[in-house]
Amino acid sequence: MDVTPDYYLMLKEKKRPELTLYSRDKTPIAKVTGDAALHVFNRIVENPSVWEGLESISAEKNTRVYSLRPDLAPIVASYILINRRSPNPAKWDWYLKEVLDGQLSRAGKNISSIVELVFITRNTFGESKQYKSMDIIAGTLREFAKRFKRNVQTV
């Protein structure tokens, strides 16, 4: 019996690497490309807080696919999105740790709502501009993270 996971993470290692989080129906939720894709992928799979919710499905040639537990999907999606078009993905490493184990871990449902905006904006712009919706939400998440970090540091 072949069971399709609710969410899966796919890393395609090619000239310009791609890391994409997909829903069960193969709809892309979050995507990052280039060197950032490898950096983000490595931070995700190296984080012990993710290990129990990440399972390898296949590893062929230049493509690795993992199933992702539903409660981790919005967190991983937000981390991928926050790194979308980021010239320095290491700048956002603190965010993944914070959202998994820090004060932001209590905001999981709220982060999930932010990630849901990808679908809402995609419906507004149409399927052909699905990556535009990711760009918009990525900017929103970066601003949220910057302000959160600034306010936590001043407390």
Q: Which tens digits make up the pLDDT trace of 58-86?
A: 889 899 999 999 889 989 999 999 999 88
Mean pLDDT across the chain, nearest whole number? Answer: 87
Question: Which amino acid is located at 55 in the chain?
Answer: E
Which class for 79: exposed (0-12), middle (13-18), buried (19 or more C-beta within 10 A)?
buried
8 Å CB contact between 85 and 135: yes
* pLDDT (0 to 100) of residue 1: 43
Q: What is the mean pLDDT of residues 33-61?
A: 93
d(CA 72, CA 36): 20
Tens digits of residue pLDDT in 80-125: 999 998 899 999 999 999 888 877 777 766 777 888 888 788 778 7
pTM reported for the whole predicted model: 0.88
